[in-house]
Amino acid sequence: MLTDITGTFVKIVFAEDADIFLARGLAKRPASRFNRPGENALYLSPNAESARVAIGEYVKPGDPPRFLLRYEVSPCSLFDLRHPNNGDIYELARQSWRPVLARGEEPASWQASDHIRSSGHKGLIDPSRRPPGLRHITLFHWNMPDAPTVRQIGGPEPIEVPPDYR
């Protein structure tokens, strides 16, 4: 059910957002697959390819330049949605969330996140739905007691991400 992780992970961002991702408790944090507006969640990928896939559907022609940020994550155990014993939670997590939220409803992925958070887990490993074989992590707790330490390493690196990258 849990998988240990550690090492370097990445995130692709707009330049003006580069300094906000390690902050917790941001009221302006937008809703996403595993968090309500203002709820802590740090989305990271193990490499640039996975990060491109993670943001591919959000990239639009004419967007400002994007940058790759690297983070060192200390050892921690995360709820692994890839594990067969976690299939019921994965079924909730994998549901499309943006159209549901646009209708004013609560995405099923938030229910999955609520379950994982209330079980005391620091975060999760999410298998990519496009293409299979890639993965991402989402941390709910970081840089606080009994949570993994996350620190940025190096500076922002320019990166190209074509629209709807898959």
Chain segment 8-28, per-residue pLDDT in tens? 999 999 988 888 889 999 998
Chain segment 27-83, per-residue pLDDT in tens? 989 999 999 999 999 999 999 999 999 998 888 888 899 999 999 999 999 999 999
Please check the confidence at residue 162 and state whether its pLDDT lies above 80: no
| Per-residue 3-state assignment (H helix, E strand, C coil) for 57-71 | HHCCCCCCCEEEEEE
Taking residues 147-153, what's their average pLDDT? 97
What pLDDT does 16 receive?
A: 85
Residue 123 to residue 109: CA distance in whole angstroms: 13
Chain segment 95-149, per-residue pLDDT in tens? 999 999 999 999 999 999 999 999 999 999 999 987 788 999 999 999 999 999 9
Please check the confidence at residue 86 and state whether its pLDDT lies above 80: yes
Please check the confidence at residue 6 and state whether its pLDDT lies above 70: yes
Q: Which secondary structure element, helix H or strand E, spans residue 102, and what is its range?
A: helix 98-102
Q: Is 7 contained in some domain?
A: yes
Q: Is 164 contained in some domain?
A: no
Residue 127 to residue 40: CA distance in whole angstroms: 20
Boundaries of domain holding 37: 2-159
What pLDDT does 17 receive?
A: 85
What pLDDT band is residue 165 in, cutting at 50, 70 and 90?
Answer: low
Name the percent of the chain lying above pLDDT 90.
Answer: 81
Residue 49 to residue 35: CA distance in whole angstroms: 23
Q: Is 166 contained in some domain?
A: no
Q: Is 91 contained in some domain?
A: yes
Residue 124 to residue 102: CA distance in whole angstroms: 25
In the chain, the number of structural domains is 1
Residue 18 to residue 66: CA distance in whole angstroms: 10
Q: Is 127 contained in some domain?
A: yes
Q: Say which CATH number the domain at 109 has.
A: 3.90.175
Q: Is 165 contained in some domain?
A: no
Residue with token string 């550690």:
6
